[in-house]
Structure 1
């Protein structure tokens, strides 16, 4: 009648209406000279649908919606004059059994601040973007070029990064306040990207944003859609990419949400053995239904297109790929071949990843995939899922297991730190130390470390150096860069007062130095996914728990050697094997006074000697301190 045509219905039914967010939901329009809002919703099982809201006094029968043609598609639409920005509304859906359901708009651009559950009218079509330089550079990049760029991600929960003290409300920083504080901090530290948790609207703070009710709406906790766009715009102006957590795996059962939306399972599988996560108490999207796939694809495209988002980290991919994920026998249904793979979810991933990386080749699709599913970042043409990156959960578990050990026992677990390189080139990996590792009694990164208090800090510094030197992009959760002592909680801000303690400040300074070294040396990122970029010098020094390796640039001119001692033993007789008879410049030394050390007379340049060591033709002597880290720069040319 007003905007949703038969052509729209056709493409929606094929899961290829890629501008669906411009048609579904609430949009300002002028109809026959009258300004107002057009409301459109999909509810095929409904007997009747009404729009109720502040503009009609929540009168349940004031604004009846009409089915658009073809009527069997089940799309309803109406136009209401004089609706204003910010006004709240819901859909009253009368089911085929006469039940009254009061639902938020699945395609809403904005939502009422929790605990309210209504949707809100918002104009998201007239943001004033000034990030043209960033977008032009991003959109001219290929996926292959993206893999050769630095990526050091600061994973952040905006509501608990920092808070206003003494306020009667939650004390949240707004999107605009975060644009002045968080972005400057990330820039100063040397990160390249911010990954934001909990931006898609959600009702319960304790879910951290992983039980979403508003897949098209930036959460109102921190401001309006325009405020969020301003934050992204400011990130781009300061050359920081923005990644969002995105959750197509499941959704909550809240009465105002997607569950049994029109009185029947609509967005979820009808069979509870396929449509529910027994452990999580949530619903599973029906990936075999085109309109549901289009809903999810449209959400992803909306964030990338409308809000200029540079990457989506897709949560809980394994739970989508396996029909038996988190389920006991009798709780799941095999696929048509009798297997446990969700064939519809596999097709969905190939569709959405190929679409987004094809349309926006400078945008990253990132899989949080916790199993050994093959070819996650492989091309769809070769039966891969076509993600850009995969979180390396195996590396993370091995790394943490090793770092938690008393140094005496590390010699017997040496392979935990070397094993990841044996499969490193199977996928395009991101090394992650995420929020999941510092909650639920898992302790902070600092508290995982063994030893007395001083050794805990030195252990952590050594571990971070290993991570930053290792092949793969990087992600570190907020607070761990300054050795947050307590587990993370969404209920309070980080313990910034710890920076008054010299031990915490030196970890922050150390991480800052590592990040700037990472960004400033292309050998650390341009060949992450092939053996040309990494070479072990000595991967087998288990008795001393020392690791040494080379990171190489394509042209051979920019190369770094990392040496890391994971015991409290000083190695005064240590000798490092090196590949060429050149000078080696010491660019990072953990015993530098600026990191709390006592080295004041150590040389900064070392000349290779004709003394073979570690299988290398040359070597340099270097007295390696307890938990010592040394990084040398050299050229093959």
Structure 2
């Protein structure tokens, strides 16, 4: 025996930090080389090579499966292993320990400083060819591990077989395993400094097993789908989305619809490409927002407790199937926004938590590193490699899946150390801001927009912190838009009140206009508002059945007229009665009944009217696009205002009657003389109303009202919203049509 017994013992007990130092081919002296292998359950091992006259049998010097042989050759050479197990089975393979590292020192340098934006091309499992040999290269970051191995069916899940090496002081372990190809299950077996053995899924895996199974799957995601969205992607680069109509349909793919004939199974990505894409297109939405699609073990987490950040969930198919779905959206001119969760992650044993036995991705201090209320760990955004993991993940979805925007979950909990906590740590200056997370978000926004101009980043942020959508160069966070949580809470409180009580809540609808232009706001009626006993949108509405539908139409018309982009959660468009249940399909049978059919038609038409009239969206984030007509009529619960486009040559007068009584001869001052065409009446019979209105148009009169020289005399239906589009006398004379 030539080898050091102590080193052999470390190897076979799984305590060797660099198995490449022992295994493989090494120069022994000027005239000899030595080859060593460690293969448990192998009975015989031979070296075969073109430079050898005969196969050379290795000496088995340890019953655990350690072999070695001194060969009289002065230079290192290429060779293969011919192995035979105790059952007499024979096979030939390349020795994994005969290959040099694949990840370069420059890659490691960028990763350790947090700036390797495409690190997903290096870390994880990648099918590749090395020295003419096909196989898979594995790498993982685990700096505090005593030993890391790749395990799978290919080695009987024995962590002693494919022990990895750490590359310098980078904390990155790697190995190239020949003949391992797509579809193989694998995990990383990690031995901690305290000798605990952990089984971890690959943080960078491109595909994972369906829960409750936990293994990662070797998968090639490149060239699996031939994209046909070139036109969309080219035009997106030039889009100024803040000056465009945005009406988003928020969807949970698990529960949008199921297949009852097949035990209520999920629709696949490809089935959704047929059904969901057409549904969104027919109902005139501009975008879809998909709740998180990264792999997660618990359905009831709605996708927000992620264990596979680079894995498109296998619930609905393979990664290329999701690509096909997104491609279909683009070919139908529908943008795709994906929910992204960079703030926290679950404590599942196979996930990121205590990954190498240490607090690697999270803070060790529970006052910094845990959301006790949510039962999750918090990312350590101040650690370079963690920042690199998350930034590259954001770019991964924009790159490989052509995602058009990322809606960032729970931003408030990220930027404030005391958010949702009874106990917390202050920052270095004694404040409650999470300085590292704030810098991370600035970096995220600057990098994503740099690489992918035309994409959107949207913050779910519920505080009054300024600058969420301000540029990073002016110390803002740099988001494209921010959810207007204040508008949502105030307006829902107003609309849920009995109509006779609304006069006491008048400020709930006017207050949002005092800050509406401080940020780039998106008005959201999301999934969070229709769960946990909050009731569905329709059930929130007060009154009898007729009033509920009328109130909801009125509320939506008010929402679409209010400055800001729009988002509505699935089910709200046709009047789901029950709260959203993530384990069940939406109640599509309701569309057998006329009230629900008519509500869906209303939302469809509302989306169309919204898109066709740029006064409703071109100037959403500047006071120039909005003007109150009457905001003081609390006794009658009537509100009226004007929306204008940039050139102010398109004007829409919006009037809302939040009481269930008809208001005849309601005089309203208007900005200019001319005809006002009624382009929306929520009380129309086709929407389920009573057809009370103004015969399609009104002509202004030179009668002063509210300090305006011209006015119109309106009939306001009960619980209704009306849009009147201004048409000048010249337009009427020239026969110009309104859009």
* TM-score normalized with structure 1 length: 0.97
Give 1:573 shift.
Answer: 2.1
Within the candidate set 303, 307, 310, 2:397 is matched to 303
Pairwise CA distance, 1:326: 1.9
* In 2, Cα distance between equivalents of 1:548 and 1:337: 47
Query: What is the alpha-carbon distance in structure 2 between the residues aligned to residue 351 and residue 57 of structure 1?
Result: 43
Q: Does 2:570 correspond to 1:471?
A: no
Is the 1:190–1:512 Cα contact (8 Å) retained in structure 2?
Answer: yes
Measure, in 1, the Cα distance between the counterparts of 2:101 and 2:568.
Answer: 48
Corresponding residue for 2:733?
none
Q: Displacement of 1:635 after TM fit?
A: 4.4
Q: Distance in 2 between matches of 1:215 and 1:65?
A: 23
The CA deviation at 1:558 is 2.5
Q: What does residue range 10-89 of structure 1 map to in structure 2 within 5 Å?
A: 10-68=109-167, 71-89=168-186
- Alignment correspondent of 2:103: 4
What is the aligned counterpart of 1:351 among 443, 454, 458? 443
Correspondence list, 1:126-205, <5 A: 126=223, 127-141=225-239, 145-168=240-263, 170-205=264-299
Displacement of 1:406 in angstroms is 0.5
Task: Quote the Cα distance in structure 1 between the aligned partners of 2:689 and 2:556.
Answer: 17
1:483 aligned partner: 575
- Report the more deviating stretch, 108-117 or 557-566: 557-566
In the alignment of these two chains, the number of paired residues is 629
Instruction: For residue 525 of structure 1, report the CA deviation from its aligned partner.
Output: 1.1
In structure 1, the partner of 2:685 is 593
State which structure, 1 or 2, has the greater radius of gyration over its C-alpha atoms: 2
Alignment equivalent of 2:605, drawn from 503, 513, 518 = 513
Classify 1:601/1:447 alpha carbon distance in 2 versus 1 (closer, same or farther; 3 Å): closer
Alignment of 1:158-557 (within 5 A): 158-168=253-263, 170-328=264-422, 331-557=423-649
Q: C-alpha distance in 2, partners of 1:566/1:461?
A: 11
Structure 1 position 352, deviation (Å) = 0.8
Aligned mates of 1:48, 1:452 — CA distance in 2: 67
Alignment match, 2:653: 561
The secondary structure found in structure 2 opposite 1:425 is coil
Looking at structure 2, the residues matched to 197 and 343 of structure 1 have their Cα atoms a distance apart, in angstroms, of 28
1:330-363 deviation digits (Å, cap 9, x = unpaired): x321111011111100110111111111222211
Tell me the SS of whatever aligns to 1:161.
coil
In 2, distance between residues paired with 1:604 and 1:516? Answer: 18
Q: CA separation in 2, counterparts of 1:564 and 1:409?
A: 16
Whether the 8 Å contact between 1:278 and 1:326 is mirrored in structure 2 is no
Q: Deviation at 1:82? A: 2.1
**Secondary structure in structure 1 of the residue aligned to 2:669:** strand
SS of 2:665's equivalent?
A: coil
Describe the SS at the equivalent of 2:573: helix
Is the contact made by 1:537 and 1:616 (CA closer than 8 Å) also made in structure 2? no
Moved more, 597-606 or 303-312: 597-606
1-side partners of 2:183 and 2:237: how far apart? 33
Residues 154 and 194 in structure 1, CA contact (< 8 A), matched pair in contact too: yes
Distance in 2 of aligned mates of 1:57 and 1:340: 50
Over aligned residue pairs, what C-alpha RMSD do you find? 1.3
Higher mean C-alpha displacement, 563-572 vs 353-362: 353-362
* 3-state SS, counterpart of residue 361 of structure 1: coil
Distance 1:634 1:293, change over 3 A: same
**Partner SS for 1:49:** strand
Contact 1:378-1:386 at 8 Å conserved across structures: yes
1:499 is displaced (CA, Å) by: 1.1
Q: Deviations along 1:136-184, whole A, 9 cap, x unmatched?
A: 011233xxx221011111000001000001314x510001110110010
Tell me the distance in 2 between the aligned counterparts of 1:338 and 1:440: 36
How far apart in 1 are the matches of 2:707 and 2:345?
55
Answer yes or no: is the 8 Å Cα contact 1:107–1:215 preserved in 2: yes
Corresponding residue SS for 2:243? coil
For 2:693 and 2:384, how far apart are their aligned partners in 1? 68
Paired residue secondary structure (2:642): strand
Structure 2: distance between partners of 1:293 and 1:602:
58
Within 2, Cα distance between the matches of 1:35 and 1:109?
Answer: 19
- 1:576 is displaced (CA, Å) by 2.4
Could you tell me how far apart the structure 1 residues matched to 2:707 and 2:587 are?
A: 46
**8 Å Cα contact 1:446/1:460 also seen in 2:** yes
SS at match of 2:686: helix
Paired residues of 2:692 and 2:717 also in contact (CA < 8 A): no
* C-alpha distance in 2 between matches for 1:350 and 1:597: 48
Change (3 A) 1:440 1:119: same
Query: Secondary structure in 2 aligned to 1:38?
Result: strand
* Runs (5+) with no aligned partner, structure 1: none
Distance 1:140 1:565 in 2: 40
Superposed displacement of residue 35, structure 1: 1.3
Higher strand share: 2
Separation in 2, partners of 1:576, 1:480? 32
Residue 723 of structure 2: SS of its match in structure 1?
strand
Question: How many Å separate the matches in 1 of 2:515 and 2:689?
Answer: 36
How much has 1:555 moved relative to structure 2?
Answer: 2.2
- In 2: Cα distance, 1:598 partner to 1:270 partner: 63
2:164–2:175 CA contact under 8 A, matched in 1:
yes
Question: In the aligned structure 2, how far is the partner of 1:166 from the partner of 1:204?
Answer: 24
Partner SS, residue 716 of structure 2: coil
Q: Give distance in 1, aligned partners of 2:589 and 2:651.
A: 38
SS in 1 for 2:272: helix
> The residue matched to 2:265 in structure 1 has which SS?
coil
SS in 1 for 2:339: strand
What's the secondary structure of 2:202's corresponding residue? coil
User: Is contact 2:638-2:657 (8 Å) kept?
Assistant: yes
* Deviation, structure 1 residue 62: 2.0
SS class of match (1:287): coil
Q: Quick one: structure 1 residues 553 and 48, their matched pair in 2 at CA, closer, same or farther if it must change by over 3 Å? A: same
Secondary structure of the structure 2 residue equivalent to 1:572: strand
Aligned to 1:95: 192
How far off is 1:601 after superposition? Answer: 8.4
- How far does the alpha carbon of each residue in 1:583-614 deviate from its partner, in whole angstroms, 9 at most, with x for none? 11111122322112343884222211111223
Q: Please say if residues 694 and 715 of structure 2, whose CA atoms lie closer than 8 Å, have aligned partners that are also in contact.
A: no
**Would you say the 8 A contact 1:249–1:320 is kept in 2?**
yes
Gaps of at least 5 residues in structure 2 are 1-99, 731-739
8 A Cα contact 1:556 1:635, kept in partner: no
